[in-house]
Amino acid sequence: MAMLEWFLVLGISAATILVHGQSGDTMTPTKSIVDGQTLISAGGTFELGFFSPGDSKGRYLGIHYRGTPDKTVVWVANRISPLNGSTGVLNLTGDGNLALLNSTGYIIWSTGTSNAINPVVQIVDSGNLVLIEGTSKNLLWQSFDHPSNTLLPGMKLGWDLRTNVDRHLTSWRNSSDPSPGDFSYKIHVNALPELFLWRGSVPIYRSGPWNGRGFNGIPEMQTNNMFWFNLTSNEYETTYTYEVQDNSILSRILLNENGVVKHLVLYRPKLKWDLYWQHPEEQCDEYAHCGANNLCSTSYVSACDCLRGFSLKSPQNWRLRDSSDDCVRRTALNCSSDGFFELQQMKLPDTSNATVHSNKSLEECEDWCLKNCTCSAYAIIEGSGCVTWTGDLVDIRLFTEGGESLYVRLASSELGQIRGNYRKKKLVIVIIISSLAGFPLLVCCIRLLWKKNKKRKQGETLSIHYRESRGNELELPLFDIHTIRTATNNFSEDNKLGEGGFGPVYKGQLEDGEKIAVKRLSKDSVQGINEFTNEVLVIAKLQHRNLVRLLGCCIEGEERLLVYEYLQNTSLDYFIFDSKRSAFLDWQKRLDIILGVARGLLYLHQDSRLKIIHRDLKASNILLDEELNPKISDFGTARIFKVDQIEENTNRVVGTYGYMSPEYAMGGIFSVKSDVFSFGVLVLEILSGTKNRMINQAEACVNLLGHAWRLWIEGRCLEILDEAVGCAYPESKILRCIQVAFLCVQERSENRPTMTEVVLMLSTESALLPQPERPGFCIAPPLMERDSSSSNKLTVTIEGR
């Protein structure tokens, strides 16, 4: 464009601005957008305008959320061509080309469209910028077809097979430079579509194949009720998209500059993005972390272990901690006599060497694979049918929940060895049944099992969950006592983190530098062995970001040790009940902790493979990581419920005074509503910074709940708020939290909400709250017995009626 033409355009643009002002949500050829002007979607969710990211001096045209922190950017037009200064102009030509021009009139970005009649540009509430033909309403161009680093609900990721266009995410170079970085996130079409994260041309993460509900390697997709996921694969396209089912929630999937894919959610009108899931998150998320024919699990000491029937190709590399080495078959296959070994709860292998046989049943799939000598494994995937693999099995892992069954081909002699181990596995069955039923035989069984494993080398795993002869052991690393003593400096007092009702907890560090927390069960505790086994059996099956992660255990002589991930900020009570440390917890952080605990409990009650009642939820059992995110711990008193079970009665009540519901403390009846009661107490403690104990000794039964209830009925409940919160807090949200807490601690269990309802009430301002009834705040102290193994905490054991 000649300079004269540029001045004419600029003159027309300036005149248009003076006449029309801001442009609403649409732009026609009679309008232009200059720096300082924006297009705003009709619902006010998204805005198109100029911006400078981070400390950059360049100007970019992009789309961002309105009313969110830092005006979160979701799309950038001129990623590789920043404007110098604020002289850029966005024009729409009469024939339908949307173009961004710099101060010299040079087009630095455009849609490249033409031959349109009455074109119109509009930003819609989905975050999509669309260019349509005004008369026919035909779509000429849309920003959703040209993603930056963000996937929004309704946006397609994948291939348009008619135009051979690949819609994928690319990271920013850094927080100040939106130009394409080193990482990309895209649909890769092998036998089945999978999401791959790439660094250049090197794969660093794989989602697993689509299984009809989500991607097989992303368990969070399988157990959610907030999102709807869809994959379309036909002759025209192979694309993945998702939708949010609750309009009060904003959601985005971000590929950040460090190569991490994060699914972020924001609960309106909250002004903070929460992490829903992220990948890669741990070493087993790394593509082929363990090499071919290896099984990766966070429960293993070394993370990797060869599949059944396979052994290390190079044991020397393994000893040097090179876990990427391949595993090879111990016994050569014989096509006429081979069989299959079932592995359950698996992330299925890379499908680049797989084939889909859509119309075959499980039996037909097995038969086909048996007759084809090159077939090394098969699986049945919902919506796809029979999938078979040839050659090596790459990038597989074991989940604690979710996943699919994979059937691996083995020589008949290898299968015979597995069947020969069946009797040994019966011992594990006895242990599990005994622990769940509480039989005295449990102690003897564990000691017998320990003697059989005592001479095995360090790093060998103890199977704590029986599977039938065709597979699926849930394995937990078994540490030897020498390793634990070395890590904790022989249980030095300097390494002692604290002490609970069943023994002390020590900080430690393994040889590879990983920090751990070791729970050493007291030898004097009558409940020690029951608590130990129960905790292992329960928490080893759980996987949630708001639950503490069990790394392994140690059984040797009189020692019973549990090895957990180390959380440097210890427990919640260390902060909220201390006048100085409580200052670290402002209102938003306290709300985040409350929501995190709520989601952890929801997972235990509803979303995990097991239905679990914690029975001892309290501030000292909520651990905090380096960012003060909460993780529920101490599952020694937890109980597993059947899916349809409502409640249970026990003769032996265990828990902590002040947190137990009335029906549990007085009658031994517990249910999910018992945990809801404890959660309500915890919420009031977090808000007030006060323990639920007697506040006024002159008035019987006036503890925190009684005191707070009195303030509630007098309309003065904000007086319970901890002074450390300061003055900067939203009064309406505080009142909502307090009301939810009172709903949780109502005296009658049937009146209390479920944790599903609690999470909804805390997350959604529009959710209507019923008026709470009188809380069950008085439990007579004479009924309590002090547990001698407890330190400064009143843990109770009551004989139920």
Note the pLDDT tens digit of each residue in 533-561.
656 766 666 778 899 888 888 887 778 88
Residue among 619, 661, 613, 618 at smallest CA distance from 637 = 613
Average pLDDT on 300-309 reads 79
Report pLDDT for 463.
Answer: 32
Report pLDDT for 455.
Answer: 34
The model carries a pTM of 0.55
What percent of the chain is helix, strand and coil (3-state, nearest 5)?
25, 30, 40
CA distance 719 to 738: 11
Asked if residue 306 is part of any domain, the answer here is: no
Put residue 615 in one of left, alpha, beta given phi > 0 → left and psi -120 to 50 → alpha.
left
Note the pLDDT tens digit of each residue in 331-342.
999 999 999 999
Distances (CA, A) of 549 to 369, 496, 566: 38, 19, 9
Q: In terms of pLDDT, which residue wins out, 78 or 577? A: 78
Give alpha helix (H) positions in 721-754: 731-744
Answer yes or no: do 577 and 701 share one domain. yes
- Predicted confidence (pLDDT) at residue 17 exceeds the cutoff of 60: no
Q: In terms of pLDDT, which residue wins out, 106 or 638? A: 106
Asked if residue 304 is part of any domain, the answer here is: no
Cα dihedral sign, 94-95-96-97: negative
- Predicted confidence (pLDDT) at residue 315 exceeds the cutoff of 90: no
- Active centre residues (catalytic): 616
Answer yes or no: do 396 and 440 share one domain. no
CA distance 533 to 152: 45
Q: In the listed set 399, 420, 441, which residue is the last one of a domain according to the structure?
A: 420
Average pLDDT on 418-425 reads 44
Report pLDDT for 135.
Answer: 80
- Predicted confidence (pLDDT) at residue 651 exceeds the cutoff of 70: no
Asked if residue 700 is part of any domain, the answer here is: yes
Q: Degrees (nearest 5) of the Cα angle 780, 785, 791?
A: 115
Q: Predicted confidence band at 365 (pLDDT cuts at 50, 70, 90)? A: very high
Q: What is the CATH number of the domain that holds 540?
A: 3.30.200.20
Q: Predicted confidence band at 452 (pLDDT cuts at 50, 70, 90)? A: very low
Half-sphere exposure of 95 (CA within 13 A, CB side): 4
Cα dihedral sign, 716-722-727-730: negative
Contact 434, 537 (CB under 8 A): no
Q: Predicted confidence band at 320 (pLDDT cuts at 50, 70, 90)? A: very low
Report pLDDT for 3.
Answer: 41
Note the pLDDT tens digit of each residue in 106-144.
999 999 999 999 999 999 999 999 999 988 889 999 999
Asked if residue 674 is part of any domain, the answer here is: yes
Distances (CA, A) of 655 to 217, 621, 678, 741: 37, 12, 10, 20
Task: Count CB neighbours of 716 within 10 A.
Answer: 10
Greatest mean pLDDT range, 117-126, 441-450, 788-797:
117-126
Task: Count CB neighbours of 721 within 10 A.
Answer: 19
CA distance 220 to 227: 10
Answer yes or no: do 638 and 787 share one domain. yes
Residue among 116, 121, 119 at smallest CA distance from 142 = 121
Q: Predicted confidence band at 67 (pLDDT cuts at 50, 70, 90)? A: confident
Note the pLDDT tens digit of each residue in 750-759.
999 999 899 9
Answer yes or no: do 139 and 187 share one domain. no
Report pLDDT for 533.
Answer: 65
Asked if residue 289 is part of any domain, the answer here is: no
Half-sphere exposure of 360 (CA within 13 A, CB side): 18
Q: What is the CATH number of the domain that holds 214?
A: 2.90.10
Distances (CA, A) of 412 to 105, 337, 340, 343, 415: 75, 6, 9, 17, 5
Answer yes or no: do 98 and 222 share one domain. no
Asked if residue 516 is part of any domain, the answer here is: yes
CA distance 350 to 192: 9
Pick the range with the lowest mean pLDDT from 125-129, 527-531, 615-619, 731-735. Answer: 527-531
DSSP secondary structure, 306-342, as one string: EPTTEEES-HHHHHTT-TT--EEESS---TTT-EEEE
Answer yes or no: do 658 and 791 share one domain. yes
Answer yes or no: do 663 and 561 share one domain. no
Contact 212, 233 (CB under 8 A): no
- Mean pLDDT taken over the chain: 81
Contact 664, 651 (CB under 8 A): no
Q: Predicted confidence band at 153 (pLDDT cuts at 50, 70, 90)? A: very high
Query: CB burial class (10 A; 0-12, 13-18, 19+) of residue 200?
Result: exposed
Asked if residue 296 is part of any domain, the answer here is: no
**Tokens found for residue 446:** 């564990």
Answer yes or no: do 136 and 212 share one domain. no
Pick the range with the lowest mean pLDDT from 19-28, 381-390, 528-537, 588-597. Answer: 528-537
Residue among 477, 395, 366, 374 at smallest CA distance from 190 = 395
Q: Degrees (nearest 5) of the Cα angle 49, 50, 51?
A: 120
Answer yes or no: do 436 and 523 share one domain. yes
Report pLDDT for 669.
Answer: 84
Answer yes or no: do 109 and 192 share one domain. no
Answer yes or no: do 632 and 547 share one domain. no
Q: What is the CATH number of the domain that holds 776?
A: 1.10.510.10
Tell me which residue range forms the domain holding 350.
312-420
Q: Predicted confidence band at 317 (pLDDT cuts at 50, 70, 90)? A: low
In this structure, are strands 475-477 and 496-500 parallel, antiparallel, or unpaired?
unpaired
Average pLDDT on 260-279 reads 85
Domain total for the chain?
A: 5
- Predicted confidence (pLDDT) at residue 392 exceeds the cutoff of 80: yes
Contact 624, 571 (CB under 8 A): yes
Q: In the listed set 420, 449, 477, which residue is the last one of a domain according to the structure?
A: 420
Q: What is the CATH number of the domain that holds 415?
A: 3.50.4.10
Average pLDDT on 689-718 reads 76
Report pLDDT for 314.
Answer: 74
Q: In terms of pLDDT, which residue wins out, 501 or 527? A: 501
Contact 693, 702 (CB under 8 A): no
Asked if residue 602 is part of any domain, the answer here is: yes
Answer yes or no: do 206 and 92 share one domain. no
Q: Degrees (nearest 5) of the Cα angle 370, 338, 376?
A: 60
Q: What is the CATH number of the domain that holds 84?
A: 2.90.10.10
CA 353 to chain centre: 30
Note the pLDDT tens digit of each residue in 759-771.
989 988 777 889 9
Average pLDDT on 319-330 reads 70
Q: In the listed set 144, 176, 204, which residue is the last one of a domain according to the structure?
A: 144
